[in-house]
Structure 1
Amino acid sequence: MKKIALIFPGQGAQKVGMGKDFYDTFPVSRIIYDQAGCWLDMDVCSLCFEENNKLDITRYTQIGLLTTEIAMLKAVEEMGIVPVVTAGLSLGEYAALTAAGKMSEEDAIRIIDKRGQYMQEAVPTGGSMAAILGLNLKIIQKICMETTGIVEIANDNCPGQTVISGETEAVVRVCEAMKAAGAKRVAVLKVSGPFHSSLLKEAGDRLAPELEKVQWIDSPIPYVSNTIGELIREKERIAPLLVRQVSESVRWQQDMKVMTAMGVETFVEIGPGKTLSGFAKRIDRKLSCISIETVKDLEKMEALLC
């Protein structure tokens, strides 16, 4: 079998109906949705499968998306797929931790509920995010540092795509400076707060005692931390990094380089959309990527078992 990395998207990938065909097809997937509903005393199936006004609210987005990713993961695992490493973008890191065998599905879903709640409650008035396309990361960092107010790098996704986060007025000023500096496109994102910025530090601090309750598991499969862009094998390092992850930059481009350096031959993105596969191709067009979004997509996995 080829060296496989399992990767999981973050907030923004969610959509109504996600995972419904997995729920209908695989008992292992159905169990995850049903158990998530019991663990959280919530109708998680309706949240994910039916039109509603909650799915784009941070707390519920995180519950629905993580449950879906884990439900899809269980179907992939039933096929005999064993990764050499895992990684996930922001909340996707919790799916990566379960895929690496470092935390249980129940702990992951219970924690993501708290994470989403604390992030939603910590959102200050006047915070926003924006995507900057076609501008060098060092130039973006310099402009952010020279701008009055709080505005920081939230995501280094891939070459030519960076996300900034902070106080709305500061973000607006930075966006204008980015355009003047030659950015191909500047787009304010439709999000409910300045995620992955220091303005969310309170949410990470509140999450810390919840993470201390998790029964972390020793496992041979490493995952790559968003926060420091390094392989993590020791369970003792996980909780402190997840606390920092809430308010620090996501180093996704570095995560991908770490996995490529391990000799990963195929990246398998599990979850709605193809965002991470798109990032991978911009990092290196020669990278092999598979997106698992529907049951039909599982047919692509058969070649990996040869």
Structure 2
Amino acid sequence: MTRPAKAVAPLDVRREVALVFPGQGAQQPRMGADLYRVEPTFTAVMDEFFAAGGAEGRRLRADWLAEQPVPDFDDCCRAQPLLFAVGAALAFAVIARGLRPTVLVGHSVGELAAAAVAGVFSIAEGSRVMAARTAAMAATEPGGMLAVAAGVGRIREVLGADLAEQGIAVAAINSPYQTVLSGATAELRSAERALTAEVVACRPVKARQAFHSPLCAGAAARFGELLGRIELRPPAITIRSTCTARDVTAAESVTPEFWSAQLSRPVLFWPAMDDLLRSGSRLFLEAGPKGSCAAVLRLHPAVQSRTHVVLPLLPAASRADARAVFDESVGAALAMTA
């Protein structure tokens, strides 16, 4: 059974709660399914999301609960709606248990889950938002993403200063030593070969589109038009945007283009978190599978110095006991925030 890392920070420090929502690449078959029909709030949120999606929602639910993953599970049309729903359901479940987050942070599509939890739109409306996002991406040129164990500076040393000239975009800055590149398939494979030849470790991300690159500019515009049909409201909980690396303003939160622009802009995860980690004493709960965001956060000096604590709400392994991990992390969180 996989269990969350034991908290080493003093328990007599009262901590604010921050929820972190992962994005594409974190998806796993049956992620969080052990909580379904067991954790009431989690179940209600998932059911609301699937019901709002009609026939497509029923297909998503079947794919999510399937014992064997469907062939297109990693495509954005399956992975991202499910990441959105599972992340939001986990967040509302911990809130129902008595935890009150003061800030929400989402990586890529995770930022839309944060928006739903903050009340910018409802879960049912979120089903429409995710359908609109998927529809907008449908006509996008096939591509991919590449996780690189190096900073942007080192990548430019290997590939050249002008990455755009080679059809490559910096899609995400996850840490000073972890960058995600994005681009068309051929260009991305060429970059992977060049980086590997220089002993720079890299691996493909589980994505079939070149998110957060200029290839998604048209999709971002289409998504903005579709998003304009949904009423957007100012957030009731602070959202730290990984698109701008600062808090979302009330004016931005009700502007469709603000949320749609992230499709073609880089994810500034480390810059957004670095500023947040430089103040206060927080407990970061990752509302999603795999623990990819938690792993990055644990590299930060403020976490290593025990100023902040990071815990996952789901296990890293898809077949591990999700209920045990969720219960243990929530129990630890309640003790640290009492």
TM > 0.5 = yes
Does residue 160 of the first structure (1) align with residue 181 of the second (2)? no
Q: Which residue of 1 aligns with 2:122?
A: 104
SS at match of 1:206: helix
Q: Is residue 2:228 matched to residue 1:212? A: yes
**In 1: Cα distance, 2:34 partner to 2:199 partner:** 44
1:300 aligns with 2:300: no
Q: Which of 287, 291, 314 is the matching residue for 1:270?
A: 287
1:26 corresponds to: 39
Does the 8 Å CA contact 1:225/1:241 hold for their aligned counterparts?
no
Deviations, residues 228-261 of structure 1 (Å, cap 9, x unaligned): 1111131434532222100111010011113213
8 A Cα contact 1:165 1:197, kept in partner: yes
Matched, 1:227 2:236: no
Aligned length: 302
Call closer, same or farther: CA 1:26–1:179 in 2, change over 3 Å: closer
Change (3 A) 1:20 1:167: closer
Q: Offset of 1:101 from its aligned partner?
A: 2.9
Structure 2 equivalent of residue 242 of structure 1: 259
1: CA distance between counterparts of 2:113 and 2:281?
19
2:312 to 291, 294, 300: 291
Q: Aligned residues: percent identity? A: 24
Quote the Cα distance in structure 1 between the aligned partners of 2:204 and 2:121: 35
The gaps in structure 2 that reach 5 residues or longer are 1-13, 315-321
Q: Is the 8 A contact 1:154 1:165 kept in 2?
A: yes
SS in structure 2 of the partner of residue 146 of structure 1: coil
Higher relative contact order (CA 8 A, sep 6+): 2
CA distances 1:249-301 after superposition (whole Å, capped 9, x unpaired): 10100111132134242111111121111010123323410110133323332
In 1, Cα distance between equivalents of 2:263 and 2:186 = 22
Partners of 1:97 and 1:110 lie apart in 2 by: 14
- Structure 1 unaligned blocks of 5 or more: none
TM superposition score normalised by structure 1: 0.90
Task: Provide the rounded CA distance (Å) in 1 between the counterparts of 2:289 and 2:174.
Answer: 17
Q: SS of 2:299's equivalent?
A: helix
Counterpart contact for 2:168–2:183, Cα < 8 Å: yes
Structure 1 residue 180, shift from structure 2 partner = 5.3
CA distance in 2: counterparts of 1:144 and 1:102, whole angstroms:
41
**Distance of 2:252 and 2:145 partners within structure 1:** 32
**Bigger shift: 45-54 or 199-208?**
45-54
Alpha-carbon offset, residue 85 of structure 1: 1.0
Q: What is the alpha-carbon root mean square deviation over aligned residues?
A: 2.2
Matching residue of 1:137:
152
Q: Distance in 1 between matches of 2:51 and 2:151?
A: 46
* Kept after mapping to 2: 8 A contact 1:85/1:259: no
**Displacement of 1:179 after TM fit?**
4.0
Q: TM-score normalized by structure 2?
A: 0.82
Cα deviation digits, residues 157-185 of structure 1 (max 9, x gap):
112111111133332333344345552x1
